[in-house]
Amino acid sequence: MSRIGKKPVPVPSGVTASIDGQTVTIKGPKGEKSFMLNELVLAEMTDDGIKIDPRNDSKPARSMWGMSRTMVQNLITGVTDGFKKDLAITGVGYRAQVQGQNLQLALGFSHDVIYAIPEGIEIKCAKPTEISVSGTDKQRVGQVAAEIREFRPPEPYKGKGVRYADEFIVRKEGKKK
């Protein structure tokens, strides 16, 4: 039994949920999102919220059960609060700024890195060394943050590069004479 899958997904006030076959559609203050459930699970509206159940007791159906419930929960969280990833830039002369629909990064290369901001994603730079990626889709927010981090991942000797704000960099000791 999936401990996550057993719980119904509560639908908060101000959010409208509808189920059409295998498609779950959620409308909220930040927009509208939908998710196509796997054929191995069933979704139904109850008084407690949206209930996800496996069609049978097979291993693949039970595998999809908890994942499907979490995906529906992420839809509701996305249209109500949204998702956010914070990045920190460490290094002398390393900085970032938003210019229109592009993020311009100075990361120690001979040229600035220009990253086109995808639609549905909002990027803010409160300080030149801090980047905040936000949006309604958890997967896309994480993917954009990972792509920005990939331009200059943190190195283990001085810790220079782009890292997640909550990431800890394990430092190595340098050469000894």
Segments of the chain assigned E as strands: 16-20, 23-28, 31-36, 41-45, 50-54, 83-90, 95-99, 102-106, 113-116, 121-124, 130-135, 161-164
| Per-residue confidence band for 1, with pLDDT thresholds at 50, 70 and 90 | low
Q: Quick one: tokens of 54?
A: 């496996």
* Residue 3 confidence (pLDDT): 82
Domain segments of the chain as ranges: 3-80, 83-164
CATH number of 3-80: 3.90.930.12
- In whole numbers, what is the pLDDT of the chain averaged over residues? 91
Q: Do domains 3-80 and 83-164 have the same CATH topology?
A: yes
Q: Quick one: tokens of 45?
A: 């509206």
Q: Which residue has the tokens 């590069």?
A: 161
- For residue 14, the Cα-to-chain-centroid distance in whole angstroms is 23
| Per-residue confidence band for 47, with pLDDT thresholds at 50, 70 and 90 | confident
Q: Quick one: tokens of 80?
A: 């109500």
* Residue 57 confidence (pLDDT): 87
User: 30: closest CA among 138, 155, 105?
Assistant: 138
Spatial distance between the Cα atoms of 29 and 81, rounded to a whole number of angstroms: 9
* Domain topology for 83-164: Outer Surface Protein A; domain 3 (3.90.930)
* Residue 74 confidence (pLDDT): 93
Spatial distance between the Cα atoms of 136 and 114, rounded to a whole number of angstroms: 23
User: 14: closest CA among 97, 76, 84, 102?
Assistant: 76
